[in-house]
Amino acid sequence: MAKNQIVLYGRNSVFERLKVNPKSIRKIFLQDNLKVPSIEKLIRQNNLPSERLSIRGLEKIKHAKDLQGIIAKVDGFQYTLFEDLLGRKREEDTTIIFLDRISDPQNLGVITRIAACFGRMALVIPEHKACGVNETVLHVASGGENYISVSIVANMANALTAAKEAGYWIAGTVVSDGAEEISKVSLPFPVGLVMGSEGEGIRQGLLKHLDIKVRIPMEGAKLSFNVSMACAIFCYEISKRRQESG
């Protein structure tokens, strides 16, 4: 496989890519007995090369438990330049989610899908000590990567400073007495949301960049939400406030 290509696998992932960005697809491999008319129709419409293989043949290309009978070789993921994202998304009132050291590709994939579902969201991830957009992320995102921008930055603190200079208010998800319940706080727009790592939360060096500290109200057991679950709750609240503000 070419160096700048990656493997996309699973029916939803390949179907969404066919709908939104078929030019990024180099070749599609289908299990020999698989019938998926919606996908096969798009393959023909876009005149894409395809091949029928046995399950063993597919597994030689990608060994994963959720191949679902379909694999596509596609161009490597294209990140959006952060400077371009800031300029474009500020005008569109898009919420930028800054992910501080999210290392689990499952979490990043779910967050990508969440952001795509709510709409008017973009992601920023650090270059170091974090998961990038890899094949597992794309599989879990189930096509969500086609609907949002993702930027990768060398320095998250500098990115937050630039966002604030561009007019963004920065909210951070923290568990402390100084944090306000997300359901009660007044959110200014455009807003950026900082979410910390799975185990350690937001780094101390980033806390000083926060304009607002928010938390999820929890009256039950003294446990914590998984970062992707927490992201869904915060994105829901942000989307609801954005609609209410008109």
Q: What is the C-alpha separation between 87 and 85, in angstroms, rounded? A: 6
Whether 90 shows a pLDDT value over 70: the answer reads no
Reading the block at residue 86, the tokens are: 């800031």
DSSP-derived secondary structure for 163-217: HHHTT-EEEEE--STTPEETTTSPPPSSEEEEE-BTTTBS-HHHHTT-SEEEE--
Reading the block at residue 242, the tokens are: 């954005």
Q: State pLDDT tens for residues 143-165.
A: 999 999 999 999 999 999 999 99
Q: What is the C-alpha separation between 212 and 98, in angstroms, rounded? A: 14
Greater confidence (48 vs 66) lies with: 48
Q: State pLDDT tens for residues 12-45.
A: 999 999 999 999 999 999 999 999 999 999 999 9
What value does the mean pLDDT take over residues 114-130? Answer: 95
Domains and CATH numbers, the chain: 5-75 (3.30.1330.30), 82-245 (3.40.1280.10)
Q: What is the C-alpha separation between 239 and 168, in angstroms, rounded? A: 16
